[in-house]
Amino acid sequence: MRVIDRIVGSRLDPEIAHRLHHLDHHHAVDILAIDSADTARRRLRATTEGGEDIAIALPREETLFDGAVLILETDRAVVVRVGAESWLRLAPGDKAAALELGYHAGNLHWRVRFDGEDLLVALEGPPEDYLARLGDLTASGRVVHGVDGRTEAA
């Protein structure tokens, strides 16, 4: 098993992109496919598409990202590919519901982003688990929800 303790760089860096292009022509670029939730992890054990076991142990200041180059040698490379992420869209009906929703999302340490007045929660499990944690907030219709942009009443 190979231990990776740092990220070499990004596949978008011009110099690295040139080297990867050359290696790709020789079928020497291996892909480490990970879920989007794993990008926050500093320690991870995974297997590349080519079958190599990799142990990642990154320092605090480094995080995995789509296109992160983990290995770049003269004869091979390993690049991270992050899978598509699903989002739970939560649309509060009023300011009080928005405040309560924000409290729950923060208290539960959910990864979120905003889209207008909607709160998007990164799904790391079934949407039903998230909705259950919100309880009456969604059951009462004070917050409507949907997955990947579709909204529907509870």
Tokens of 6: 């740092």
State the pLDDT at residue 152: 41
Tokens of 92: 């509060």
In the chain, ranges of CATH 2.60.260.20 domains: 2-82
CATH number (3.30.70.790, 3.40.50.10490, 3.40.50.2300, 3.40.50.1110) of 87-147 reads 3.30.70.790
* Contact between 41 and 93 (Cβ < 8 Å): no
Burial 26-38 (b: 16+ CB within 10 A, else e): eeebbebebebeb
Q: What is the pLDDT of residues 10-59, one digit of tens each?
A: 999 999 999 999 999 999 999 999 988 899 899 999 999 999 999 999 99
Residue 59 Cα to chain centre, angstroms: 18
Cα–Cα distance, 102 to 128 (Å, whole number): 18
Tokens of 154: 């509870």
Cα–Cα distance, 73 to 71 (Å, whole number): 6
Q: What is the pLDDT of residues 116-132, one digit of tens each?
A: 999 999 888 889 999 99
**Is 2-82 a domain of CATH 3.10.130.10?**
no
In the chain, ranges of CATH 3.30.70.790 domains: 87-147
